[in-house]
Amino acid sequence: MTYSFKVPCCKDRLQSIRDFVNNILSSYNLSDVDAHQLVLAVDEVCANLMIHSHHCNPSENIELKIRVEHGRGITFEIRDEGNGFNFCEYREPDLNEIIGTKRKGGVGLMLVRRIMDKIEYDCCAKKHHNIYRLRKSLNFTPKDNL
Amino acid sequence: MVKVSVDLLDNYCLIQVDGEVDASSSIHLDEAMQKAVDASCPNVLVDCSKLNYISSAGLGVFMSYIQEMEAKEKKLILFNMSEKVYKVFEILGLHQLLSIVDTEQEAKKELVG
């Protein structure tokens, strides 16, 4: 199954992204903790793109596609246009350093990397079109099949 | 959306967080924490029973006060956290850097101990 959702780059739309993901995940047999963490990973990537790549410009959009493979896993594909951010080159900051400098950000992508099994960044599909792919292997079974 | 309240009590400040703390709403948690840290009460207790969601922005708020609290010799204790929210703190190892207990009673006990 594939699902798709497009939102303008406003931080107050993060809630609608989480609702969209939650709504899809609720039709599968997943633990609360697993579902919560998948929602969190998508939220973190979208927040990062909205803030750092798009400077919260509401005339720009990001698009989320979700592909569920029954029994195998889930792939979130987040697309945007503009200057991409290469996740694969991201180096994890030191937690003690963040605490020491009283910085309020910097751990979002750390969470994403620890939650998801695979993260890919594709900036070459088309010029200035970026694709961020988050993959998690989990035994997805629809609730109706019980 | 999140609602954050701060009650200044004798021995501690009680912060109650109701809703979801994300990149757009973490500012409210930050303001409440700042108010509690600046207040004269010696400790800060955070009731997380209605905290349904926290992203890195919210975790960052708690992290950013760890040093200031230590410097002021104030205790910061979070309690009544749901399992799914606790697991988010656990992913980064923050459950070892912050004091997180099950109940309000335990939190109050920590103040004495």
Q: Residue-wise pLDDT tens for chain A (146 aa)?
A: 899 999 999 999 999 999 999 999 999 999 999 999 999 999 999 999 999 999 999 999 999 999 999 999 999 999 999 877 777 777 888 888 888 887 777 899 999 999 999 999 887 666 778 999 999 999 989 987 54
Q: Which chain A residue is nearest to residue B86, measuring alpha carbons?
A: A33
Task: Say what the pLDDT of residue A125 is.
Answer: 60
What is the value of ipTM here, to two decimals? 0.94
- pLDDT category of residue B113 using cuts at 50, 70 and 90: low
Task: Say what the pLDDT of residue B26 is.
Answer: 97
**For chain B, what is the HEC assignment?**
CEEEEEEECCCCEEEEEEEEECCCCHHHHHHHHHHHHHCCCCEEEEEEEEEEEECHHHHHHHHHHHHHHHHCCCEEEEECCCHHHHHHHHHCCHHHHCEEECCHHHHHHHHHC
From first CA to last CA, the distance across chain A in angstroms is: 18
Cβ–Cβ gap B59/A107 under 8 Å:
yes
Amino acid, single-letter form, for residue B5: S
Which B residues, 38 through 57, put their C-beta within 8 Å of a C-beta on chain A? 53, 55-57
The model's pTM is 0.94
Q: How far is B5 from chain A (nearest CA, A)?
A: 20
Task: Say what the pLDDT of residue B8 is.
Answer: 93
Task: Say what the pLDDT of residue A88 is.
Answer: 74
Q: How far is A43 from chain B (nearest CA, A)?
A: 8
Amino acid, single-letter form, for residue A33: V
